[in-house]
């Protein structure tokens, strides 16, 4: 065993773990990694930049023993029981004061349980959200740490060094108490689900109703990415339309089976929104549509039964493309609004003290939902750190006021041509309801009181009332 003591250790050398470690090494930190698959240690060393200090080992003990104190290590392993079993394997090797980070997509309640379990043993356990995919991990992700303040202070220089930078500012900040890091990452993914669903709905119209070719779709999305819709997801969508399939020479996107996978973070966002409660219908719709995509056999049978015909237009393409642009922009703002309002509520409800101004600031770079909109949101939270909903900000309101008419028109058009725009519709529905001082829920209260004596409140005086209907 060498005498070098390493700055940081990684458990799990899959692409994310390896890339994050190589990124740390490129920033001058000495790093060591362990994976059960011993070939991955060699792959790690082979990928290291010349002159950096990178070591792969084949046992957990070798890794832990060669770390500087207090030892700092992260696991990037599949969420769930694997995290617990790594913790159990680590425990006999750790000392009081060591820092163990879970950098995966763990459910925040698991993270809370693990924090308490390890606190009793003197170990600092942190849940950290990392977003940016494989490339982001290598070149600069957005990093969402939460929990133990002392551990955050120890980790800060390392995390700041490897994170993405926007105007030289690192895309990492303390996200709050307890499991706030994993919570913020969960909601980030919920927003990601919503935006992806919205883009797919717009694609549906542009491809099957407007009849755009993949080359034309590429041009539309590329142009959009150069304007107010500028974002990572729009950028990669433009690229996708150009990719050729090696097997058939068709465009790859047309050869991909239409069943969407998911690893659970979108569903967790919806589930916890219901628990809080807070209303995030566009994220809910995105989860529901991924689920429905899995019912391929039933959809095929229903298509044969109902025979929906989708007409392709010959004129007025440019107009629909403009409507699509505004509809997408407006619905994306509303999706961020839902996710951020969830964080606002969770911050107090779950005692996490999530600094929303920092959340939007560190999402500006590195992460999957980075977009030019985050600059506008950062300015909004700078003005009012306790803003309950981004739709209440005057600048955001000015944009939404301008675009909502086209969102409405685009939805009307889509419904008329039988192309489902479930997420777009929920965005508009949420917005319209949010802007109503008086909702029709007085009637629901009357019904509840009539059949269940559930009582109601009155508009003209304080108190709780029941009527014998």
Q: Check binding of 454 to ligand 3PG (CB under 6 A).
A: no
Kindly write out the interface string for residues 90-129 of this chain, putting x where it contacts ligand 3PG by CB under 6 A and - elsewhere.
---------------x------------------------
Shortest distance, CB of residue 265 to ligand 3PG, whole angstroms? 5
Binding of residue 418 to ligand 3PG (CB under 6 A): no
CB of 263 to ligand 3PG, least distance (A): 4
The first and second tokens of residue 195, run together, are: 């935006």
Q: Active site includes 192?
A: yes
Q: What is the number of H-type helices and E-type strands within the chain?
A: 20, 9
- Binding residues for ligand 3PG, rule CB under 6 A, total 9
Q: Are strands 142-145 and 124-131 parallel, antiparallel or unpaired?
A: antiparallel
Q: Which is nearer to ligand 3PG, 263 or 402 (CB)?
A: 263
CA angle, corner 173, sides to 177 and 146, nearest 5?
25
Q: Which of 214, 265, 338, 404 binds ligand 3PG (CB under 6 A)?
A: 265
192 is a contact residue toward ligand 3PG (CB under 6 A): yes
CA–CA separation, 230 vs 325, rounded Å? Answer: 11
Residue 77 sits in the site that holds ligand 3PG (CB under 6 A): no
- Tell whether residue 148 is a contact of ligand 3PG (CB under 6 A): no
Token pair recorded at residue 32? 């060591």
Residue of 51, 92, 261, 452 interacting with ligand 3PG (CB under 6 A): 261
Applying CB under 6 A, among 121, 243, 263, 311 the residue interacting with ligand 3PG is 263
In DSSP notation, 333-346 reads: HHHHHHHHHHHHHH
CB nearer ligand 3PG, residue 41 or residue 145:
145
Site string for ligand 3PG, 214-253 (x = CB under 6 A): ----------------------------------------
Stretch that binds ligand 3PG, among 82-90, 262-270, 381-389, 430-438 (CB under 6 A): 262-270
Can residue 51 be called a binding residue for ligand 3PG (CB under 6 A)?
no
- Interatomic CA distance for residues 91 and 108, integer angstroms: 21
CB-CB contact of 193 with 282 (8 Å)? no
Residue 11 is given by DSSP the state E
Q: Are 57 and 63 in contact (CB under 8 A)?
A: yes
Sign, Cα dihedral of 213, 214, 219, 220 = positive
> Within positions 368 to 407, which residues make up the interface with ligand 3PG, using CB under 6 A?
368
Beta strands in 110-205 (DSSP E): 124-131, 142-145, 165-166, 169-170
Q: Which residues does 300 contact at the CB level (< 8 Å), separation at least 6?
A: none
DSSP category for residue 392: G
Cβ neighbors of 158 (< 8 A, separation 6 or more) are 7, 8, 24, 27, 29, 72
Binding flag, residue 262, ligand 3PG (CB under 6 A)? yes
270 binds ligand 3PG (CB under 6 A): no
Residues near ligand 3PG (CB under 6 A) are: 105, 189, 192, 261-263, 265-266, 368
* Active site (catalytic) residues: 185, 192
């Amino acid at each position: 065993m060498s005498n070098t003591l390493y700055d940081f250790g990684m458990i799990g050398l899959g692409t994310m773990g390896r890339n994050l470690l190589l990124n740390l090494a490129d920033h001058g930190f000495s790093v060591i990694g362990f994976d059960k698959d011993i070939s991955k240690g060699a792959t790690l060393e082979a990928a290291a930049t010349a002159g950096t200090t990178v070591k792969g080992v084949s046992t957990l003990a070798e890794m832990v023993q060669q770390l500087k104190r207090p030892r700092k290590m992260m696991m990037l392993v599949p969420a769930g029981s694997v995290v617990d079993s790594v913790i159990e394997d680590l425990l006999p090797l750790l000392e009081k004061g060591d820092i163990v980070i879970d950098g995966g997509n763990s459910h925040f309640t698991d993270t809370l349980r693990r924090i308490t379990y390890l606190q009793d043993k003197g170990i600092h356990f942190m849940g950290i959200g990392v977003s940016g995919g494989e490339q982001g991990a290598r070149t600069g992700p957005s990093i969402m740490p939460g929990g133990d303040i002392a551990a955050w202070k120890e980790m800060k220089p390392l995390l700041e060094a490897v994170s993405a930078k926007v105007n030289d500012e690192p895309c990492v900040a303390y996200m709050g108490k307890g499991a706030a890091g994993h919570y913020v990452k969960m909601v980030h993914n919920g927003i990601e689900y919503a935006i992806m669903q919205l883009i797919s709905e717009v694609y549906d119209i542009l491809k099957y109703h407007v009849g755009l070719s993949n080359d034309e779709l590429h041009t539309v999305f590329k142009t959009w990415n150069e304007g107010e819709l500028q974002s990572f997801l729009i950028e990669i969508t433009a690229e996708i339309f150009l990719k050729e399939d090696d097997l058939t020479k068709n465009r790859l996107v047309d050869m991909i089976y239409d069943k969407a996978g998911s690893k659970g973070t979108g569903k967790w966002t919806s589930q916890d929104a219901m628990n809080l409660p807070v209303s995030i219908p566009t994220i809910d719709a995105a989860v529901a549509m991924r689920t429905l995509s899995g019912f391929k056999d039933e959809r095929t049978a229903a298509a044969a039964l109902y025979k929906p015909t989708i007409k392709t237009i010959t004129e007025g393409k440019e107009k629909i493309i403009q409507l699509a642009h505004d509809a997408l922009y407006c619905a994306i703002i509303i999706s961020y609004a839902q996710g951020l309002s969830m964080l606002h509520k969770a911050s107090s409800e779950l005692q996490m003290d999530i600094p929303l101004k920092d959340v939007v600031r560190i999402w500006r770079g590195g992460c999957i939902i980075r977009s030019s909109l985050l600059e506008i949101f950062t300015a909004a939270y700078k003005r009012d750190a306790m803003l309950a909903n981004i739709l209440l900000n005057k600048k955001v309101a000015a944009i939404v006021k301008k675009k909502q008419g086209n969102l409405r028109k685009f939805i009307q058009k889509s419904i008329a041509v039988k192309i489902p725009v479930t997420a777009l519709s929920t965005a508009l529905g949420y917005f319209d309801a949010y802007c109503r001082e008086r909702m029709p829920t007085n009637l629901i209260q009357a019904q509840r009181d009539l059949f269940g004596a559930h009582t109601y409140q009155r508009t003209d005086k304080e108190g709780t009332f029941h009527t014998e209907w």
